[in-house]
Structure 1
Amino acid sequence: MTASSRWLLKATLLTAFSLGAVAVQAQELTVSAAASLTNAFQAVGQAFEKAHPGTRLTFNFAASGPLLAQIQQGAPVDVFASADQETMDRAAKARLLAEGTRADFARNTLVLIVPASASHVPQQLADLNGAAYKRIATGTPSSVPVGRYTMASVQDAGLASALESKWIYGESVRQVLNYVARAEVDAGFVYRTDALIEKDKTRIALTVPTATPVSYPIAQVAASRNAALGKDFIAFVRSAAGQQILEGFGFSKP
């Protein structure tokens, strides 16, 4: 093989390797999603990867507020799914979302839960003002959507002042669920889908009405490095197959 032939072969191999690296990179997708979506989105992700061979999804689950802060700080995120409209509105206002990609994909319900071993089960929100409920958990209202839903409902029930000294705040709805499951608090506000995960350790006392629906929006992040795959994932979440998986975890259609 001549020197020029060897050079040509080397150049061809380098080009092939470079194209291969780009192809691999093009099949990776990072999704930041609300903590309450953890189990459901893991199942959705497995189905999506199966339907798109060679694709690898990486999930980042946390409260919606901190996830938005990460995106604002430049975290490499392709798709964002929030547990409330307010957080997604803030993302849109900051121009962090790809235009025309935002869509609602699921709904949930706010519930009040108690430890399975609890001797007292509230029949209405007003019961939380009783001596049996000294520690009540919900998410931090400034950063965790379930906390904002909770505070609005408590305010509407006229219990804001009465319960003010009883709150124990969690960094996510899953932390609130854990507090109740471990009987570290007397009651807690979570989503119905979360309560179903720990149905052996917690009991749903009542469904809590909310002034606005507990709805979940999803959108492609404007800075995404893989816009096409991000749109495919959003479409899959909203498809019949994706909705069936979500419904299996207790979510309802938007």
Structure 2
Amino acid sequence: MKRTTVFTAVVFAFLVIAGTTTNAMAQELIVSAAASLTDAFSDIEPAFEKANPGVDVVMNFASSGALYRQIEQGAPADVYASANPKWMAKAVDKGFVNKADVQVFARNSLVLATPADNPAGVTTLNDLVATKVKSIGIGTPETVPAGQYAKGALVARDMYEKMTSKMIFGESVRQVLDYLSRGEIDCGFVYRTDAVKAGDKVRIIEEIPLEKPVTYPISVLKEAAAPHMAAAFVEFVRSDEGMSLLEGRGFKRP
């Protein structure tokens, strides 16, 4: 019994060490992706790891602008996926990304949404200037692409300045979605994929016409620690399997 116990303990210790060694040998791939991609890329992560044994994908989700600032300040990242071309263009201009490596992989749409019970009775975009609407959620335009799209649409209709006193700014489009889901604002601007994710907690009022469509570019970063695996991840996202996973979350093909 004593010898068996000792033997078992040795085997257990060996397995722990072996497992630790295996984990240590796993190739880490850091993907910085826009907050609106959280669900889709959380689906893609295990699918990519299954297709590439020994790779550990680490997802970093935030607003596209916040992610760019992280990259600018030297934070490690192998892949950058933005919710609009603006921040990717900055990454190219500042030398973090090769322009030739940038590829658009998905499209989305911007919608005006309310909490399910729609307490302010919003029926159209024009209602937002009415006194019955007290609070409007919008991503901070300077850093959140959804906010930038929304601001552009409102400025084009000469509505933005009339509504700024009502605006509740979110650090990401997902934060605006949370405000809507909890009924903390009368209405807000989010992507259709986000509104669909919220299910019966959120009501879509209308799609917002935009001058330019909502597009998502992706690229390997020049300073990627794992450039070949980063390129493989980008190709996987654009593959039929990757596209199917994106479509499953409401995104459209580019």
Task: Please report the TM-score for the alignment, with normalisation by the length of structure 2.
Answer: 0.89
For residues 208 and 62 of structure 1, the distance between their equivalents in structure 2, rounded to whole angstroms, comes to 23
Matching residue of 1:223? 223
Matching residue of 1:159? 159
AA aligned opposite 1:24 = M
- Cα deviation for residue 122 of structure 1 reads 2.8
Matching residue of 2:9? none
Cα shift readout 1:163-209 (whole Å, capped 9, x = no counterpart): 12111100000000001111111000000000111122110011011
Tell me if the contact between 2:119 and 2:186 (Cα under 8 Å) persists in the aligned partners.
no
Unaligned runs of 5+ in 1: 1-19
For residues 220 and 249 of structure 1, the distance between their equivalents in structure 2, rounded to whole angstroms, comes to 23
Unaligned runs of 5+ in 2: 1-20
- Cα deviation for residue 119 of structure 1 reads 3.8
Cα shift readout 1:204-242 (whole Å, capped 9, x = no counterpart): 011011111100000011110100000000000001110
Tell me if the contact between 1:121 and 1:205 (Cα under 8 Å) persists in the aligned partners.
no
2:238 paired with 1:242: no
Q: Which runs of 4+ in 1 moved over 2 A?
A: 119-124
2:213 paired with 1:233: no
AA aligned opposite 2:55 = T
Query: 1:188-207 residue pairs with structure 2 within 5 A?
Result: 188-207=188-207
Matching residue of 2:93? 93
Matching residue of 2:17? none
For residues 193 and 99 of structure 1, the distance between their equivalents in structure 2, rounded to whole angstroms, comes to 28
2:138 paired with 1:174: no
- Cα deviation for residue 28 of structure 1 reads 1.4
Matching residue of 1:7? none
- Cα deviation for residue 99 of structure 1 reads 5.1
> Which deviates more, 154-163 or 101-110?
154-163
Are residues 165 and 91 of structure 1, via their aligned partners in 2, closer, same or farther at CA, if it must alter by over 3 Å? same
- Cα deviation for residue 120 of structure 1 reads 4.2
AA aligned opposite 2:235 = A
Question: What SS does structure 2 have at the residue aligned with 1:131?
Answer: coil
For residues 99 and 203 of structure 2, the distance between their equivalents in structure 1, rounded to whole angstroms, comes to 42
Matching residue of 1:69? 69
Tell me if the contact between 1:125 and 1:157 (Cα under 8 Å) persists in the aligned partners.
no
Cα shift readout 1:37-82 (whole Å, capped 9, x = no counterpart): 0010010111101111111100000000010010011111000000
Query: 1:5-84 residue pairs with structure 2 within 5 A?
Result: 24=25, 27-84=27-84
2:149 paired with 1:149: yes
Matching residue of 2:8? none
- Overall identity of the aligned pairs, in %: 45
- Cα deviation for residue 161 of structure 1 reads 2.4
- Cα deviation for residue 118 of structure 1 reads 1.6
Cα shift readout 1:83-122 (whole Å, capped 9, x = no counterpart): 0000100110000014522100000000011000224443
Matching residue of 2:7? none
For residues 227 and 239 of structure 2, the distance between their equivalents in structure 1, rounded to whole angstroms, comes to 18
> Which deviates more, 170-179 or 195-204?
195-204
Tell me if the contact between 2:43 and 2:245 (Cα under 8 Å) persists in the aligned partners.
yes
- Cα deviation for residue 158 of structure 1 reads 1.9
For residues 156 and 76 of structure 2, the distance between their equivalents in structure 1, rounded to whole angstroms, comes to 39
Matching residue of 2:185? 185
Are residues 233 and 184 of structure 1, via their aligned partners in 2, closer, same or farther at CA, if it must alter by over 3 Å? same
Question: What SS does structure 1 have at the residue aligned with 2:60?
Answer: strand
